[in-house]
Structure 1
Amino acid sequence: MDPPTPESLALSTADPLTSHFTSLNDLAQELASLQDLATRGSWRSILDKVTRARAQSLLTKPHDHLVYFTYNVLALTKLRRFTDAAGEIDSLEDLNSLRYKYEGYPDVYPGRVGSMVPFSLRWMYALIPMKLGRRQDGLDRLYVLLDFVRRKVKEKREIGSVDVWRRREMFVMNGIIGVHLNQKELAACLSLIKELLNRDYTDPVLVSKLGYIQMQMGDLEGAKSSFNAVQGMVEKEEGSEMRNLVSRNKALVFMVGKDYVSAVREYEECIERDGSDVVAINNKALCLMYLRDLSDSIKVLESALERVPTVALNETLVVNLCSMYELAYVNHGDVKRTLSSWIARVAPDDFDTASTRI
């Protein structure tokens, strides 16, 4: 199961665009409500709000229009309306043009300089071509974005403020690694992950990702060495997050060796420490399925959906549950329809209902 992305696409108050204002509503009309809707996954409501704001001419400043535009594209992307999102983005000029800089409007923003373009919009500009099947276009744009971020890192280092752009650099690099990994372009993945680790070999998440890539390359001993290094890094950690990372790494090694009983034990320890560890929940169920214990594997996933629906309502998990239904029940169509009805009531707007495979 793929880990969650390292950074939300939604705008946040940490974005440089919003950091100059005392509240979100100072930035644009009712922006706080848009942020709240995004957090709750109410993407259709965001589209409605943007449409109303535009129709009623509520947006008076250039950055108002740009921020609402970003939320609109984000909502279209989340709702898988990729063609519409691409059409919106294609209506823009070069994102680095004067039109999208504060200094282009000296009467509106006296003394201010720099880009008004939210980082989220730059990210979606790269993402959307891949969603439309134009993988190389999207990958090219990701590398262009990486160059842009690295220039910002260099600029900010010179003025002593670099943390946000460093995080964004890692976010973009992780995105590029994910694209290459999806196509089994493992040499490219290894090169990028080593570039990150050359800067900081003390990040247990990065070293774990190195181990996963080594495992994909068939280098089991290298993966074990990386996972052992992670264990050494976090052995004194008291929180569940890092301890679960170590257990999930161990479980992966057991799964590769088809020792599913030992893998289940590791995943159970994760779930005991953190009942919302959806990776451990999903993978424990898969191991039980491989052990031909379909009844218990189904119970694991159903229980998670009941206990922590906001976390467990994950498309990969639902696909796996429906696969188990198909293996376990003759009347699996009825069971899946019941699940689908429940999902329709509780899921956010962007949940892919096709995952139930009805």
Structure 2
Amino acid sequence: MAGNNATALKSNNEDVEIGEIDMNRYFNNAPSTIFSDIVVRKNPDFFDTQSHSTNQVSDYNPLSDGASTSSFFNADVLQASTASLLDTVVDRVEHSALSDTHRDTWIPSEHTRKILRSIATSAAGASHLERENLTMPGLAVQGDMPDLIKNASIHFLGEDENIHRNVRTASDVTQDERGLRNLIQAGCYRAAVNLSGRLLSIYAQGYGKINQPSKHTPHSLQLWYTRLSLLAKLRQMDVLESESKPFGNLDKPDMYFTFYPELYGTRPGSMASFAFRLLLAEIPSYYGKPKQALDNLYKLLATVNRIIANFQAGFNGEGTHAKISESDQRDALKLWTARKSRILISVINCAISMRNYILAIEILENLCNLPDWTAEQIGILRSAIGRVHLFLGDVSAAEKFFVRSNKEEKTTSIRELVDSGLMAVAQNAFQEAYSYFQSASAMDPSNVMLINNMAVCLLYTGQLRTAVWLFESVVNRNPLKSLQEPILLNMCTSYELHTTHCKQPKLHLLRQLNRYKGDAMDIQCLKLAM
């Protein structure tokens, strides 16, 4: 029930090693090192639908004009089985045995290249850089982020309720990346932000250190990547903007290995991961500047295209005539082509947030024309195009893309049932939509998103009591999975519509949050006046 941001679908991969890795999977339960892509967006990623056991739900607004379907198609309403689309492809290639030299490739600006060349040809310690050529990050806030669920529980339910709160803080885990990983896996994102601040202070990049010179390592940059990803996940936009700005586009000389010859010798490449570059490019869209984010993404895309062209020509990624084996060339092209596709996914998300649906459709169609997609992936891409057409209100165009990919198959996939449900919603046929979502839910009973879709359809058809019962049943059946902001916001709005005595059921939800969830939830979804 958030605003009409028309973005959707999100990805979850996992990490494996320091380097080019994905922290998304932190938000699954996969093991790995701390550093991996948290794919973060103010709204879920258009391509990050979890397939069957998704832990995301739709952002619907049952209070909006029933004649308008745009509010219905918010956030994860576009979910199908897209999690496997690009994210598993990119993840698999990212964690291949490709040489770090090719994985860390980046093309510096000419200004930065000259400085790095000067450092390489100077005597150790002889070069001195002006401050404007240094990256000087630091924490923008002092002290720890509070546990808002704990505070609200004490406020509304009394001190005694606090004995049921069993949530880790930054001090309850090891003060290293293992502790950070444990906090993230437990859903304690605020505590993880607090711990990241402590760890960054070791690098002289703590509070008050913005615009103060300090040394960087791949480890410190991955800590920053993790912290900024968490801040975006928690929607701490002011802090996110302040702390991300010192990094610029990660092109200052001290972002490259050759800036530190005493540590890395002549090792080429960027210390900052590609995932960090992508995150920084997207961040302006989180605080209301999608056009700036779009410009950033296209600049990123231009560099990646140059790197791909260099590998295709038999050079290394930077374009020098270093010898590269055929197998390395093939693997490098796979990696950077996958990264290019990931940038295009971000461009689509950004275009949709700007309501530039024509651009989104154009890029999706171009993606469809790329080789090596499986039939299932092509079906998912076409489904995504159809859903963007629904944003445009073009039901007939959408229907062409929702045609079943294999008509000989007797069974219908969950994605196809969801597509049919969305088509019904677009035509205000909410009872029919309910039937499609119900069929999909029968195939995947653990999919919370489908239950939410069904409940919202019931709200639109005036079956308020049944909708409330359905919301409550899914939360009571699996509180750990079902207690999510969009579900809770929809539930609390339903309570307000259902009865004037809605405070007690809201307090019951707060009690469940206090007992089952970490510290990441925004309690405003309960609509309780403090």
Mapped pair 1:220 → 2:401: no
Query: Any residues of structure 2 matched to 1:231-250 within 5 Å, and which?
Result: 232=407, 235=409, 243-250=413-420
Q: Secondary structure at the match of 2:264?
A: coil
**Contact residue 80 and residue 350 of structure 1 kept, 8 A:** no
Partner of 1:101: 256
Separation in 2 of the partners of 1:58 and 1:177? 38
Mapped pair 1:204 → 2:379: yes
Once the 2 structures are TM-superposed, how far is the Cα of residue 255 of structure 1 from its aligned partner? 1.9
Task: Give the gaps of 5 or more residues in structure 2.
Answer: 2-6, 23-31, 37-174, 206-214, 315-328
Separation in 1 of the partners of 2:220 and 2:296? 24
Partner of 1:65: 220
Separation in 2 of the partners of 1:324 and 1:312? 16
Separation in 1 of the partners of 2:223 and 2:526? 33
Structure 1 residue corresponding to 2:288, chosen from 123, 127, 133: 133
2:403 maps to amino acid? N
Mapped pair 1:339 → 2:509: yes
Structure 1 residue corresponding to 2:435, chosen from 265, 269, 276: 265
Q: Secondary structure at the match of 1:249?
A: helix
1:12 maps to amino acid? D
Separation in 1 of the partners of 2:394 and 2:420? 15
Q: Secondary structure at the match of 2:262?
A: coil
Using CA pairs under 8 Å that are at least 6 residues apart, name the structure with larger relative contact order, 1 or 2. Answer: 2
Task: Give the gaps of 5 or more residues in structure 1.
Answer: none
Once the 2 structures are TM-superposed, how far is the Cα of residue 236 of structure 1 from its aligned partner? 7.7
Mapped pair 1:307 → 2:477: yes
In terms of mean alpha carbon deviation, does 29-38 or 287-296 score higher?
A: 29-38
Q: Evaluate the alpha carbon distance shift between residue 206 and residue 15 of structure 1 in structure 2; reply closer, same or farther with a 3 A threshold.
A: farther
Mapped pair 1:327 → 2:497: yes
TM-score, normalised to structure 2, is 0.58
Q: Secondary structure at the match of 1:107?
A: helix
Q: Evaluate the alpha carbon distance shift between residue 18 and residue 333 of structure 1 in structure 2; reply closer, same or farther with a 3 A threshold.
A: closer
Separation in 1 of the partners of 2:196 and 2:33? 16
Q: Evaluate the alpha carbon distance shift between residue 295 and residue 147 of structure 1 in structure 2; reply closer, same or farther with a 3 A threshold.
A: farther
**Contact residue 207 and residue 230 of structure 1 kept, 8 A:** no
Q: Evaluate the alpha carbon distance shift between residue 134 and residue 257 of structure 1 in structure 2; reply closer, same or farther with a 3 A threshold.
A: closer
Once the 2 structures are TM-superposed, how far is the Cα of residue 281 of structure 1 from its aligned partner? 1.5
1:140 maps to amino acid? D
Structure 1 residue corresponding to 2:244, chosen from 89, 104, 128: 89
Partner of 2:153: none
Once the 2 structures are TM-superposed, how far is the Cα of residue 295 of structure 1 from its aligned partner? 1.7
CA offset digits 1:107-135 (Å, max 9, x no partner):
32245321121233223322332233333
Q: Secondary structure at the match of 2:413?
A: helix
Once the 2 structures are TM-superposed, how far is the Cα of residue 245 of structure 1 from its aligned partner? 0.5
Q: Evaluate the alpha carbon distance shift between residue 100 and residue 57 of structure 1 in structure 2; reply closer, same or farther with a 3 A threshold.
A: closer
Q: Evaluate the alpha carbon distance shift between residue 123 and residue 26 of structure 1 in structure 2; reply closer, same or farther with a 3 A threshold.
A: closer
Q: Evaluate the alpha carbon distance shift between residue 330 and residue 128 of structure 1 in structure 2; reply closer, same or farther with a 3 A threshold.
A: same
Q: Evaluate the alpha carbon distance shift between residue 148 and residue 26 of structure 1 in structure 2; reply closer, same or farther with a 3 A threshold.
A: closer
Separation in 2 of the partners of 1:122 and 1:140? 13
Partner of 1:190: 361
Separation in 2 of the partners of 1:68 and 1:338? 37
Once the 2 structures are TM-superposed, how far is the Cα of residue 291 of structure 1 from its aligned partner? 1.8
* Greater C-alpha Rg: 2
Q: Which has the higher helix share?
A: 1
1:113 maps to amino acid? P
Q: Evaluate the alpha carbon distance shift between residue 337 and residue 144 of structure 1 in structure 2; reply closer, same or farther with a 3 A threshold.
A: farther
**Contact residue 176 and residue 199 of structure 2 kept, 8 A:** no
CA offset digits 1:201-246 (Å, max 9, x no partner):
742211111111122223322222211144549x488xxxx81101
Q: Evaluate the alpha carbon distance shift between residue 296 and residue 221 of structure 1 in structure 2; reply closer, same or farther with a 3 A threshold.
A: same
Structure 2 residue corresponding to 1:45, chosen from 170, 185, 191: 191
Q: Evaluate the alpha carbon distance shift between residue 54 and residue 319 of structure 1 in structure 2; reply closer, same or farther with a 3 A threshold.
A: closer
Structure 2 residue corresponding to 1:114, chosen from 263, 266, 269: 269
Mapped pair 1:13 → 2:19: no
Partner of 2:120: none
TM-score, normalised to structure 1, is 0.83
Q: Evaluate the alpha carbon distance shift between residue 118 and residue 300 of structure 1 in structure 2; reply closer, same or farther with a 3 A threshold.
A: farther
In terms of mean alpha carbon deviation, does 224-233 or 111-120 score higher?
A: 224-233
Q: Secondary structure at the match of 1:91?
A: helix
CA offset digits 1:151-200 (Å, max 9, x no partner):
44445665112444444333332332223223432212221211211225
Q: Evaluate the alpha carbon distance shift between residue 93 and residue 131 of structure 1 in structure 2; reply closer, same or farther with a 3 A threshold.
A: closer
Q: Evaluate the alpha carbon distance shift between residue 181 and residue 95 of structure 1 in structure 2; reply closer, same or farther with a 3 A threshold.
A: same
Separation in 2 of the partners of 1:170 and 1:236? 33
Separation in 2 of the partners of 1:245 and 1:182? 23
CA offset digits 1:2-49 (Å, max 9, x no partner):
6431346xx722774469xxx84899x833432333333322222332
Q: Secondary structure at the match of 1:306?
A: helix
Number of residue-to-residue matches in the alignment: 347
Partner of 2:297: 142
Separation in 2 of the partners of 1:231 and 1:351? 41
CA offset digits 1:52-106 (Å, max 9, x no partner):
3344569997222212222222232223222222222222354133311223223
Q: Evaluate the alpha carbon distance shift between residue 93 and residue 217 of structure 1 in structure 2; reply closer, same or farther with a 3 A threshold.
A: closer
Q: Percent identity?
A: 23
Q: Secondary structure at the match of 2:488?
A: helix
Separation in 1 of the partners of 2:384 and 2:17? 26
